[in-house]
Structure 1
Amino acid sequence: MIIRPRPNWFRMLFVLRGSVLPDIAPQLIGVTLLAAVITVVHGQVLSWKIPLNVIPFSLIGMALAIFLGFRNSTSYARWWEARTLWGAVLNAGRSLVRMGLTLARDGSAPEVLGRRTIAFVHALRHQLRNSDPRADLERVLDPADAARAAAGSYKPAVLLLMADEWVGRNLREGRIDAACVPAFEQSLGHLTDALGGCERIAATPIPFTYSVIIHRTIYLYCILLPFGLVDQIGVMTPLIVAFISYTFFALEALGSEIEEPFGFDANDLALDAMSRMIERTLREMLGEPLPTEPVPGKAVAHLST
């Protein structure tokens, strides 16, 4: 995710980092060059004048805008739901560690619960990104817990089980009152819900046919658009085609980028930063040393993954 102070209106016109312009530049240049060639030949192909005007493009453009609006709204809803789920992970993690520190009696080892919760956060991030969590697990957990979690196919679920085992063990040993157990289970249930919600978003993309329809329609529209404009605006055709094509190409690219919010694109969620923040707040509650946190300059745009 790009994190930066909002530039003024003039600098905003030339921002590249965090925009989708570098991704769509090849097709945008190609369509603009095609429009320039069509302007030079005045809409003729092999001595045949393509009989188009702006009317069909106005009708198709309205329909295309509706489709793009639906696609982008759906993609943003997935992005925002993913962010909400990670906010729930933060809240439930704080609640779980707080209760472990305040409701359990001496000898309960609440730091074990805290570390298993921290390991869950990192394991969830790695599962969503299909990366290896072993280094984070070995850094956070003791060797036995790290080996057990690493051996699981669904490591976040295993770590939630291990956290619940801490509750059960202390309940049986009398260090937690039975009346307090539902509160622990509620926080663990919130973490389970967040895990399932993130897995659902990661495993269920927007139906592919929407992408196909929008993609084909956008390219056909932008390729034919110069034929409908050249008789009305003449030499300005390439400029107008470039502007309209930029709008459609950029909206399609943005929707595709935020549809999968757990990746490494500039506008995806900053899972690394959120995981570090959750670890720091839980370690602070446990009274443990905080891991170092990179602090970028305030005036410089940076990519937080």
Structure 2
Amino acid sequence: MIVRPRHHWFRLLFVWYGSVLPQIFGRLTLIFTVSLLSVLCSNWWLQHFPDSALSIPPFTLMGVALAIFLGFRNSASYERFWEARRQWGILLIETRGLVSKLLSSLPGEAHAALHERTTRALSAFVYALKHQLRDTDATADLKRWLTPEMQAEVVGKRFPTQLILLDISRTLVAERQAGRLADMEWLAMSRNLDRLGEASGACERIANTPIPYTYWVLMNRTVVIYCLLLPIGITTTLGWLTPLIATFVAYTFLALEMVGEQLEEPFGTEANDLALDAICHTIECATCELAGLPALGEAPVVRDYVLT
């Protein structure tokens, strides 16, 4: 996630870090070069092939259609991004709710060990989900928050998040069977666990169901070919202004395509992806503060205006 202060509109024109310019700079350079060659060769081309000169109207129609196409694609990408952020908001709400109910239902120092075990397990749950969505190794984080017994059951498994929820559920069932939790209290906590499972499942659905690859190839191919042909079509009208205008139009289309590409995979570590490290740390701090425990995780650091 990009973290930058609000700048004056004039300063925004020169922002480099936090924009998509580094990712598309090579393609913009190629289009600028093609524009220069188009201007230099336009007179020779018109002398030898006067009937094959391109003009602006066809590119205007193509540009409008392409802009609409990109708009639909970016809307679909942002819908995935927002749905992912909503699910992580649910994780924050439900983990705090579960810890609050546990502390109010079983108060006192006699249950301090249970409070700590459950709170740490919830922190391990969100960090394990982050690693699962990013396809990274969660072993170090799981060993930090889980007891040795839980580590033996969870570490190395494909779906550690569900095993952690299962362990918490078993612990609460044991408290209910021992008569320390009333049925209504246990049902309320069980609903929190169910919602945590639903939210994690929704995140898995988003991560495992990307926008079809063919759709991505079509978008990339159409945008690049249009931007490469555009200088040829506007050279006869704009002359030496062609490199400037063609590069600016190409920047608009290529930047929109790049933003949509980053948003469609919201769980990664690119500039416009969700800051899962920061969200996990927030959830841990929120639950530990309720339970009166110190947070074990380190707050993520903003690097080059990007928070992961």
Above 0.5 in TM-score?
yes
Alpha-carbon offset, residue 302 of structure 1: 2.8
CA distance 1:32–1:147, shift in 2 (3 Å): same
Structure having the larger proportion of residues in helix: 2
| Residue pair 2:39, 2:239 contacting (<8 A) in 1 also | yes
Distance in 1 between residues matched to 2:44 and 2:231, nearest whole Å: 11
Please say which of residues 90-99 and 185-194 is displaced more in the overlay: 185-194
CA distance 1:126–1:294, shift in 2 (3 Å): closer
Alpha-carbon offset, residue 303 of structure 1: 1.9
Residue type at the aligned position of 2:306: L
| Residue pair 1:105, 1:176 contacting (<8 A) in 2 also | no
| Residue pair 1:296, 1:302 contacting (<8 A) in 2 also | no
Task: Name the residue aligned to 2:125.
Answer: 120
Match of 2:249 among 230, 240, 244: 244
What per-residue deviation string (whole Å, max 9, x for no partner) do you get for residues 102-130 of structure 1?
A: 11366452222211111101100010111
RMSD: 1.9
Distance in 2 between residues matched to 1:199 and 1:219, nearest whole Å: 32
Question: After the TM superposition, which residues 64-75 of structure 1 pair with which residues of structure 2 at under 5 Å, given as runs?
Answer: 64-75=66-77
Distance in 2 between residues matched to 1:142 and 1:58, nearest whole Å: 64
Match of 1:279 among 280, 284, 290: 284
Match of 2:94 among 92, 95, 100: 92
Task: Name the residue aligned to 1:138.
Answer: 143
Q: Is structure 2 residue 306 aligned with structure 1 residue 303?
A: yes
Match of 2:103 among 92, 101, 104: 101
Alpha-carbon offset, residue 43 of structure 1: 6.5
Distance in 2 between residues matched to 1:210 and 1:69, nearest whole Å: 14
Alpha-carbon offset, residue 184 of structure 1: 0.8
Alpha-carbon offset, residue 293 of structure 1: 5.2
Please say which of residues 284-293 and 90-99 is displaced more in the overlay: 284-293
What per-residue deviation string (whole Å, max 9, x for no partner) do you get for residues 146-172 of structure 1?
A: 221114220011111111111111011
| Residue pair 2:84, 2:203 contacting (<8 A) in 1 also | yes
Q: Is structure 2 residue 244 aligned with structure 1 residue 230?
A: no
Distance in 1 between residues matched to 2:45 and 2:163, nearest whole Å: 65
Alpha-carbon offset, residue 290 of structure 1: 3.1
Name the % identity.
43
What per-residue deviation string (whole Å, max 9, x for no partner) do you get for residues 280-299 of structure 1?
A: 111111111234754879xx
Distance in 1 between residues matched to 2:3 and 2:38, nearest whole Å: 41
Provide the aligned length of Structure 1 versus Structure 2: 303
Question: After the TM superposition, which residues 207-226 of structure 1 pair with which residues of structure 2 at under 5 Å, given as runs?
Answer: 207-226=212-231
What per-residue deviation string (whole Å, max 9, x for no partner) do you get for residues 120-149 of structure 1?
A: 011000101111111111111111112211
Task: Name the residue aligned to 1:48.
Answer: 49
Task: Name the residue aligned to 1:149.
Answer: 154
| Residue pair 1:24, 1:250 contacting (<8 A) in 2 also | yes
TM-score (norm 2): 0.93
| Residue pair 1:78, 1:261 contacting (<8 A) in 2 also | yes
Distance in 2 between residues matched to 1:167 and 1:128, nearest whole Å: 27
What per-residue deviation string (whole Å, max 9, x for no partner) do you get for residues 24-58 of structure 1?
A: 00111001110111011116559435421111111
TM-score (norm 1): 0.94
Task: Name the residue aligned to 2:16.
Answer: 16
Task: Name the residue aligned to 1:262.
Answer: 267
